[in-house]
Structure formats: structure tokens, C-alpha cells
Structure 1
Amino acid sequence: METFRHMAGHCLPEEVAVALTCNGTTQAVMMASPQDVKDFAYGFALTEGFISQVSDIERLDIATHETGLEAQLWLTPEKSQALDARRRHMAGPVGCGLCGIDSLSEAMRPLPVLPLSRGLLTAKDVGTASVQLRAQQPLHDATRAVHAVGFLLPSKGVVLVREDIGRHNALDKVIGALARAGIDTRSGAFIITSRISVDMVQKTAMAGCPVLIAVSAPTALAVDVADKAGVTLAAFARGQGFDVFSHPLRIETGDIDVAR
């Protein structure tokens, strides 16, 4: 499926409904970009707690329908039974990762608390991350209408990028790609092109990634949740410094000036 179309002299990104089913039961329907759907399915299943590791999925099939795509996940019997006990329905626009939740308590679900550490990244790592991410956004270059998320490794830079019309979808795609490749999310940081909303912090914590970097601002609730979950938030990272809103010890700030 094409990622964009030429219309009225412009390149417009494709937007399709992606249904995610587990053992034949629909768990979510999200509007998303049609590329990297397998990564999306793995990442969504991990960050929503459907699975805890890649091996919990016995098989994944992608089916194409007239109305969209279907990611068919076949879980192990143990995970299938656990999911039946806490089934969630989500069907919403790309602007929100929490639309359609059956219970309000699910919006503020308990998160793992990540172990704190010192000096995972340098200020230079964080300060240059957005520039590196921007250089790896071909769909944005064509359309100027999609978000991107990258995975930053210390001293190696942004090593993996995924794009999507939805910022939370792009994050799920990166998480899924890392899981499928066997790359430990605890070894680096996520860098995103959007604001930091609470769902982005939740997905970061569920993935076990200790640092979330953004070119824009966090919400106040996102900072509160990050502080409790042990996630470092660095925002306004545009190559000219950045602000740290939670758990700053993971970032060594001696290399460049850091906005406070």
C-alpha cells in the first residue's frame, strides 16, 4: 500500500483504519499510516499490556480489506486468557491514544517504575537528537504532515526511525521494531517530533525506556506521571539546548549549556 498520493499538486499522506485483533477478537481500531504495520502491532501489544515479550505472539498476519488493514495476532494460550480478563476497546482519531477506553481508570493505569541511573546520555546526545531525527523523515519530507519517533543510543545517535500520522502510532512502531530486532529499550532514549502527552509517557514506561526527548512541550500531567514512573523527560530539544522536567541525573550536562 502506498504511503502517500499526489493530489492537486501536493503529496498527501495516506490514512487507513488498522484493526488489531488477538485470537480473532478485535482489541483496537486506530487510524494510522499504512507502512510498518507489523512493527505497529507488536509495539501496540507491548505498550497496552496485551503481551510482555515478543514470544507471547505465536503468529502475526496482516490482512488487507477494502476498508483498511487488519493485524491478526495469535497469542499463546496463557496470554490469551489474561487478555480476555481485561479486554479494552479503542477506536479513535490520530490525535489521541486514549479514545474509547471502557473505564476511566484505564486512562491512568498503573505503570512500572523504572530504575534510576546516572549519566546514560550526554547533553550533546540530547541536544543533537532532533537534528538527527529530522534527517531521517522521508515521508515528512514528501508530505509535511506526519510525526516521527526515533531511538537514540549513547554515542551512536538515532539508529532507528518510524513515521506515522499519529505520534503515538509512530512510538508504537519504534517499540515494535526494537522488540522484533532484540534491541534493549533500556539502553537508550526515544526522541519524538511532537508534544509529550500522558499517553506517550505511559508507552515509554511500558516499553522500559528510561528517557523521552521531545522537540515540543510536555503537559503538566505528563510530567507528573513521568516523575512517578521514573522516566526522564527532556523537552524543547531543537539543537539549541533543552529543558529537563524529571529525573535529570540520567543526562550529563557538562558538554553544552542546558536550558533550565
Structure 2
Amino acid sequence: MEIVAQQKIRRFESGSFTEIESSVATEYPLTIYVNDTELVTIVCTPEYLEDLVVGFLTSEGIVRGPGDIDSVDIIESTGHAKVTANFVNKFNAKYRGKRYITSCCGKSRENFYFQSDASLVNVKQNTSFTLTTNEIFHLMEKFEDNSATFHQTGGVHNAALCDSAEIIYSRMDIGRHNALDKIYGSALQDGTKTENKAIIFSGRISSEILVKTAKLGCGIILSRSAPTELAINMAEELQITTVGFIRGDRLNVYSGFERITK
């Protein structure tokens, strides 16, 4: 399935209109069923769909991890993901209706806080993982090199999981949460440890993105943009390092100063 489509547009430039073709990001609604019960519909970019499902179900506490999932059947023609699970957290499934709307990508996806989020993120990030400023600049340069779809369409979010030397996974999606869930799902299914790793994110570090990072078990998040005040407060409580405005040879460290060295 194509993740980018071509659209005829009229561009105004230098005083006149020109008809051209422009690349736009594809939206794809994916409805997740768990043990034949409809759970949620996620509007996403149609790639790494199994990783998205596994990452979403685990990060939201519907299941405890891939071991609770027997199978994931993606039916692309109908937009269905049929999950067979041997364990489902009934509390989280029951109370999904009690949620708060967050400052996410509009209402195109059920990107909300669940009341259980506080219990899902109850372990502070006490990793000894550190990064130098030069390592951060190098990682951000690699991250930008992997952002072809963003540069082509301007309509997606990018995220990456990295260590101090290289990017391990790079994923993009029209939904910012989706990109992180795809990374989490990839790591879970590959058995890749997320401790002593960092998240690189293309957009603003909001409180819900901070929560997602904490659920992944990463102690550092890097971005070209800035964190919100609530995200910084949560980062200090969870001992997560937030680094923003990484541009050229400049960056700002907002929390967890001890993990970033010269």
C-alpha cells in the first residue's frame, strides 16, 4: 500500500498560479479487534502495521507484551487488525472510555490519556546512559537524513530509537503517537532492549509524548522543537532528560542535565 500519493494542486509563486503535482501523505484507518471485540480505530500511515498494533496494545496496557499475543492478522483490504490474545488487561479494556483529550494531531486518532497512564509509568528512568553534545548533533544529522517522507510531503511525524552511535529504528506516521508505537512494537518483537537508549522526535515534546517515551523505558528524548512546561515537570518527576531546539551546533537541555555532557 502506498504511503505517499500524488495530488494535483495550484501553486501561487512569483505573482502567478501554476498547476503541478504534489506529494501528500496517505491516511489509512486501521480498526483493531482483540479476541473478536472491536477496540479502537487508529488513523495511520499504512506501513509497519503489525508493529503499530503490538506497540499500541502494550504501551496502553491492554496487554503486558508480545507474549500475551498469539497472532496479529492484518487485513489491508478492509482496514482490520485481528488480534488473538491469551491475556487481556480487563481493567484497561473496560475503562478506555474514560479519557482526556490531549493536544495531539486533532481528532483523527484516539490519541488520549487513559486514566491508567499513571500506573503504567510508575518506574523512574534511573539509567546511566549519557550522551555528549557531539553525539547528539551526529544523531540528529542521521535522523534528518532518514526523514525523506517528511521532506517530500511535510505531513508526517518522525521518530527514532538510538544508542550513542547510531539509529536503531526510524519510523514515521501521520500520527505522532503512532510513530512511537511503531518503534515500540518493532523493539518488542525483535527483542531489542530500550533501556540505555534515546528517542529522537521530530515535533514538540508534549506531555503525552513524554509519557510514551517513559513507557518505552527510554531516559532521554531529543527534538528539534521544544518541550511544554507540563512535559518538563513530568520529565523531572520521572527522571527523563529532555533536549530540545537541536539545530546546527546549538541545543537546550530542559531536564536531566547530568545525562548530557560536553
Query: CA 1:89–1:18 in structure 2 vs 1: closer, same or farther (change >3 Å)?
Result: farther
Once superposed, what is the RMSD of the aligned Cα atoms?
2.6
Q: Write out aligned runs for 1:63-82 (5 A).
A: 63-66=75-78, 69-76=79-86, 78-79=87-88, 81=90
TM-score of the aligned structures, taking structure 1 as reference length? 0.85
| SS of aligned partner of 1:31 | strand
Partner Cα distance (2:111, 2:143) in 1: 31
Query: CA 1:196–1:19 in structure 2 vs 1: closer, same or farther (change >3 Å)?
Result: same
Aligned residue for 2:156? 146
Aligned residue for 1:234? 243
Partner Cα distance (2:202, 2:22) in 1: 22
2:216 paired residue among 207, 213, 225: 207
Query: CA 1:99–1:123 in structure 2 vs 1: closer, same or farther (change >3 Å)?
Result: same
1:133-188 deviations in whole A, cap 9, x for unaligned? 1101232233222111011112x222210011111111111111111111111121
Aligned residue for 1:36? 48
Aligned residue for 1:195? 204
Q: Write out aligned runs for 1:180-191 (5 A).
A: 180-191=189-200
1:12 paired residue among 24, 45, 63: 24
* 2:172 counterpart of 1:160: no
Q: Write out aligned runs for 1:65-104 (5 A).
A: 65-66=77-78, 69-76=79-86, 78-79=87-88, 81=90, 83-88=92-97, 94-95=105-106, 99=110
Identity over aligned residues, as a percent?
A: 26
Query: CA 1:96–1:130 in structure 2 vs 1: closer, same or farther (change >3 Å)?
Result: farther
Partner Cα distance (1:129, 1:179) in 2: 22
Deviation at 1:83, TM superposition (A): 4.5
Residue type at the aligned position of 1:145: G
1:51-76 deviations in whole A, cap 9, x for unaligned? 2221111111112355xx22222211
Deviation at 1:129, TM superposition (A): 2.2
1:133 paired residue among 139, 143, 164: 143
Q: Are 1:98 and 1:107, in contact at CA under 8 Å, matched by a contact in 2?
A: no
Query: CA 1:81–1:145 in structure 2 vs 1: closer, same or farther (change >3 Å)?
Result: closer
| SS of aligned partner of 2:170 | strand
Gaps in structure 2 of 5+ consecutive residues:
9-20
Aligned residue for 1:23? 35
Partner Cα distance (2:197, 2:253) in 1: 16
| SS of aligned partner of 1:79 | coil
Gaps in structure 1 of 5+ consecutive residues:
255-260
Aligned residue for 1:216? 225
Greater percentage in strand: 2
| SS of aligned partner of 2:58 | helix
1:114-145 deviations in whole A, cap 9, x for unaligned? 24244522222222322111101232233222
Partner Cα distance (1:31, 1:16) in 2: 5
Residue type at the aligned position of 1:43: G
Residue type at the aligned position of 1:222: A
Aligned residue for 2:15? none
Q: Are 2:223 and 2:243, in contact at CA under 8 Å, matched by a contact in 1?
A: yes
Residue type at the aligned position of 1:138: A
| SS of aligned partner of 2:250 | coil
Q: Which structure ranks higher in relative contact order (CA pairs < 8 Å, sequence separation ≥ 6)?
A: 1
Q: Is the radius of gyration larger for structure 1 or structure 2?
A: 2
Deviation at 1:10, TM superposition (A): 0.6
Aligned residue for 1:258? none
Aligned residue for 1:257? none
Q: Write out aligned runs for 1:108-123 (5 A).
A: 109-110=118-119, 111-123=121-133
